[in-house]
């Protein structure tokens, strides 16, 4: 996102029905058959899904120019989505119910801002917030020519993918990699050419952690750019890895081009099954007939989107303020180890920089096998449900 509907959370993670997508071996032309979701949250909470304007079946009743002004910017987006939450609660008599907010990816960017706006402007307090693969701080990957941070964010996820390919990915195996990234890797990048010996040792270590060709790592200076990595790691097979889960691949139709010329393997592969499954569910199972197109992912909305001045500040401030304002608010941040689009290391560093504000466990970061949509893997989905139930306080 922006431009993504709620179908991925609905039919992939937490709704009562599920369609298979987003893991190795899934193809767009497979039957988009809905089946009962063993990981649904419906057993312990009501679920209300919101498709932002321009996604799903949601439409603006004005032209594109006015819609861009009214809906397709950071600030207006947060305000109208917050108002939808408020209006639904009032209309359905649920203002006194315990309320939890869940958002994925750009929805994870929205989550703290909506929570803060509801809390301080509309008078609606969340009891808990779940952020899945959140895009909390867009500015964290800026200044790659000076700051070590952009490279620190992705190295652990690249190393996790390598461990997974070797069948060795565990929390225990990842901890020394995280520690190395925070310390020696960061300080060596900061020293740059002033310490050639440290740089040489770092390049050797990065080669070991990633399993990449030593020459490639040396030419990269130990700074592994995401798209270059996704081509390099599967180049011998003529395939590309996905930035959303680097161990999910597709054939590279332009293997000799200097740069990647095709779309992302996962992003290209999930539109068909999710669209087909949702359209069939709405028109056949529910029986609501509608001739309009269902936008599982709207590139038009993404193209029309414009960021406000504070968009690059992310939503970390709102996360801090919401937690500070309500001592009972609890936040669960979930990431897939292999996700390079919203790497777990970013959230880990963000949360570790927050003051404890009483109980530091009120804001937790959890990692799961998989990528951006780690819940597509059955074991990871089961682990997520277990953690969410703890947040809700249910057995």
CA distance to 111, 280, 300, 307, per residue, from 294 (Å)? 24, 11, 13, 25
What averages of pLDDT result for each successive group of 10 residues across the chain (395 residues)? 94 96 80 93 98 96 94 95 98 98 97 98 98 91 81 97 97 98 97 96 98 96 95 94 95 91 92 94 92 93 86 90 97 98 96 94 97 96 98 91
Contact 145, 334 (CB under 8 A): no
CA distance 64 to 301: 9
Contact 306, 72 (CB under 8 A): yes
Domains of the chain: 7-139+267-392 (3.40.50.1820), 145-265 (no CATH)
According to DSSP, the β-strands at 330-336 and 128-132 are: parallel
| Residue 227 CA, distance from chain mean position | 17
To the question of pTM greater than 0.85 for the whole model, the response is yes
Q: What is the pLDDT of residue 326?
A: 97
The half-sphere exposure of 242 on its side-chain side, counting CA atoms within 13 A, is: 23
Burial class (CB in 10 A: 0-12, 13-18, 19+), 125: middle
Q: What are phi and psi of 228, to 5 degrees?
A: -65, -40
Q: What is the largest CA-CA distance in the chain?
A: 68
Contact 130, 332 (CB under 8 A): yes
Contact 136, 347 (CB under 8 A): yes
Q: How many CB atoms lie within 10 A of CB 265?
A: 25
Q: What are phi and psi of 56, to 5 degrees?
A: 55, -135
Q: What torsion do the CA atoms of 361, 367, 371, 374 make, to the nearest 10 degrees?
A: -80
Block residue for tokens 């922006």: 2
SS3 360: helix
Characterize 8-28 residue by residue with b for buried, 16 or more Cβ atoms within 10 angstroms of its Cβ, and e for exposed. bbbbbbbbebbbbbbbeebee
Region of 323 (left: φ > 0; alpha: ψ -120 to 50; beta: rest) is alpha
- Residues facing residue 129 across a β-bridge: 101, 331
Q: What is the pLDDT of residue 9?
A: 97
Spatial neighbors of 176 by CB under 8 A, at least 6 apart, are none
Choose among 7, 98, 40: nearest CA to 381.
Answer: 40
């Amino acid at each position: 996102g922006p431009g993504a509907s709620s179908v991925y959370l609905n039919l992939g993670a937490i709704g009562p029905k599920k369609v298979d997508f987003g893991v190795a071996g899934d193809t767009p032309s497979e039957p988009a058959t809905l089946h009962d979701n063993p990981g649904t949250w419906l057993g312990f909470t009501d679920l209300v899904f919101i498709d932002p304007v321009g996604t799903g079946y949601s439409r603006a009743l004005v032209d594109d120019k006015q819609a861009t002004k009214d809906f397709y910017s950071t600030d207006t987006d947060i305000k109208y989505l917050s108002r939808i939450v408020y209006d639904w609660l009032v209309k359905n008599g649920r203002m006194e119910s315990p309320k939890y907010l869940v958002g994925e990816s750009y929805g994870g960017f929205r989550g703290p801002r909506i929570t803060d706006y509801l809390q301080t402007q509309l008078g609606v307090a969340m009891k808990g917030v779940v952020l899945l693969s959140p895009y909390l701080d867009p500015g964290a990957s800026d200044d790659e020519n000076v700051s070590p941070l952009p490279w620190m964010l992705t190295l652990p996820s690249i190393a996790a993918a390598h461990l997974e390919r070797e069948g060795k990915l565990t929390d225990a195996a990842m901890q020394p990699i995280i520690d190395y990234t925070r310390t020696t890797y960061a300080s060596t990048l900061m020293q740059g050419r002033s310490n050639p010996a440290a740089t040489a040792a770092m390049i050797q270590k990065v080669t070991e952690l990633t399993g990449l060709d030593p020459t490639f790592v040396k030419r990269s200076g130990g700074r592994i750019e995401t798209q270059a990595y996704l081509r390099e790691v599967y180049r011998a097979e003529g395939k590309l890895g996905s930035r959303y889960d680097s161990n999910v691949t597709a054939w590279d139709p332009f293997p000799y081009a200097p740069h990647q010329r095709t779309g992302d393997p996962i992003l290209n592969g999930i539109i068909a099954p999710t669209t087909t499954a949702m359209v069939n569910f709405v028109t056949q199972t529910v029986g609501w007939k509608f001739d309009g197109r269902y936008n599982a992912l709207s590139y038009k909305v993404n193209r029309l989107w414009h960021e406000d001045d504070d968009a690059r500040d992310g939503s970390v401030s709102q996360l801090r303020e919401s937690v500070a304002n309500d001592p009972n608010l609890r936040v669960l941040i979930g990431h897939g180890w292999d996700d390079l689009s919203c790497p777990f290391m970013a959230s880990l560093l963000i949360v570790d920089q927050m003051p404890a504000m009483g109980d530091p466990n009120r804001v937790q970061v959890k990692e799961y096998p998989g990528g951006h949509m780690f819940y597509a893997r059955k074991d990871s989905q089961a682990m997520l449900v277990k953690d969410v139930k703890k947040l809700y306080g249910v057995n």
